[in-house]
């Protein structure tokens, strides 16, 4: 099923959520220098992003401070340098989970 968030590639997108129903979707394409934001939203839009992630078996990470930081950026923006360390750990976990190496 195609969707306008382009979140069906299980290897790259990462979702972060927090209890106030905010979500940010990320993608780190092979060869890219840094990940970028593919979708973000609050309320119903956050629920839709999370539903798409669940339907596509995409890893969901709950991290309120990281969501707050990433929510300041726009869709298609590279993630800010302040998020690199936290995201490196998340992406490493996802790659390991998928049997891929860092």
Q: How many angstroms separate the most distant Cα atoms in the chain?
A: 35
Q: Which backbone phi and psi does 30 adopt, to 5 degrees?
A: -55, 135
Q: Tokens at residue 19, please?
A: 């209890």
CA dihedral sign, ordered 8, 9, 10, 12: negative
pLDDT per residue of the chain (102 residues) written in tens, 0 to 9? 333 444 555 545 555 555 568 999 999 888 999 999 999 999 999 999 999 999 998 989 888 899 999 999 999 999 999 999 999 888 888 888 888 766
Q: What pLDDT was estimated at residue 16?
A: 53
Q: What is the pTM of this model?
A: 0.75
Return the closest-CA partner of residue 38 out of 65, 1, 18, 9. Answer: 9
Q: Tokens at residue 35, please?
A: 């990940």
Return the closest-CA partner of residue 9 out of 41, 52, 50, 42. Answer: 52
C-beta of residue 28 within 8 angstroms of C-beta of residue 59: no
């Amino acid at each position: 099923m195609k969707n306008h968030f382009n979140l069906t590639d299980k290897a790259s997108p990462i979702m972060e959520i927090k209890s106030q129903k905010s979500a940010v979707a990320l993608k780190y394409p092979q060869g890219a220098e840094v990940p970028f934001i593919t979708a973000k939203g609050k309320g119903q839009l956050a629920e839709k992003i999370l539903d798409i992630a669940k339907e596509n078996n995409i890893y969901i990470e709950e991290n309120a401070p990281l969501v707050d930081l990433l929510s300041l950026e726009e869709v298609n923006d590279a993630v800010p340098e302040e998020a690199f360390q936290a995201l490196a750990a998340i992406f490493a976990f996802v790659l390991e989970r998928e049997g891929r190496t860092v």
